[in-house]
Amino acid sequence: MTASEGADHQVQAISSDEDVVRVRQLVRVAAVAAKLSLVDQTKVVTAASELARNTLVYGGGGRAEVSRVANGLRNGVRIVFSDSGPGIADVDLALTDGYTTGGGMGLGLSGARRLVDEFRLDTTVGAGTTVAVVKWAR
Ligand SMILES: Nc1ncnc2c1ncn2[C@@H]1O[C@H](COP(=O)(O)OP(=O)(O)O)[C@@H](O)[C@H]1O
Ligand SMILES: [Mg+2]
C-alpha cells in the first residue's frame, strides 16, 4: 500500500509528561481532520499515548511525527515514534500481554498494536526503537 503524505505533518519532541499530552492532542486533531469516527479517534489517541510514554520512559525521550495520510480511498493518521535508547532485545516478548521491565501493566505495546490498523516496530539493541502506526478512517 502506498500512502502519500498529506499537507499536515507535525513533529513533537518527547522529553516530558507534558510532551506526551501534546502528542495526544496532535493525534486527536489529525484524527478529526481525517474524519475518523469518535471511537477510532479514541483508539488511535490511546495507542499514541502508550507509545509516547514508552518513548519517554524506556527510550529516554525521542520524538513523534504525526501525519495525515491518504491512499486514494481513505484518509488516515500515521504516527512514527522514534528514540535513540537501548532498543528491545526480544520484540516478541515485549509484545506479549503483561510483559514489562518497568513495573508497568505490560499492555502498552500489545494494546497499541490491537488498536491500530498498521503497526511496525523496528529496533536495534544499543541504537534505538522506531514504532510506526496507522489508523484509517472506515
Ligand atoms: N521505546 C522503547 N525502548 C526500549 N524498550 C521498550 C520501548 N518500548 C517498550 N519497551 C519494552 O517493552 C516492554 C513492554 O512495553 P509496554 O507493553 O508498553 O509495557 P509497560 O510500559 O507497562 O512496561 C517495556 O517494559 C520495555 O521493556
Ligand atoms: Mg508502556
pLDDT by residue (tens digit) across 45-84?
A: 999 999 999 999 999 999 999 999 999 889 999 999 999 9
Domain that holds residue 117: 4-136
Domain of 126, CATH number, reads 3.30.565.10
CA of 54 to the centre of ligand 1 (A): 6
CA of 96 to the centre of ligand 1 (A): 10
CA of 118 to the centre of ligand 2 (A): 18
- Closest atom of ligand 1 relative to the 94 alpha carbon: 12
Rg of the chain, C-alpha, whole Å:
14
Cell of 105: 501493566
What's the confidence (pLDDT) of residue 111? 98
- pLDDT average, residue stretch 10-27: 98
**Helix residue ranges per DSSP H, the chain:** 17-33, 38-57, 91-94, 108-115
pLDDT by residue (tens digit) across 22-31?
A: 999 999 999 9
Report the mean per-residue pLDDT for the chain.
Answer: 95
- pLDDT average, residue stretch 97-112: 97
Q: Is residue 95 within 6 Å of ligand 1 at its C-beta? A: no
| Residues, CB-to-ion distance under 5 Å, ligand 2 | 54, 108
Counting the structural domains of the chain, the total is 1
For strand 62-70 and strand 4-14, is the pairing parallel, antiparallel, or unpaired?
A: antiparallel
Q: Is residue 47 within 6 Å of ligand 1 at its C-beta? A: no
**Residue 2 clears pLDDT 50, i.e. is over it:** no
Question: Phi/psi at 65 (nearest 5 deg)?
Answer: -115, 120
**Residue 10 clears pLDDT 90, i.e. is over it:** yes
Q: Which ligand is nearest to the CA of 81?
A: 1
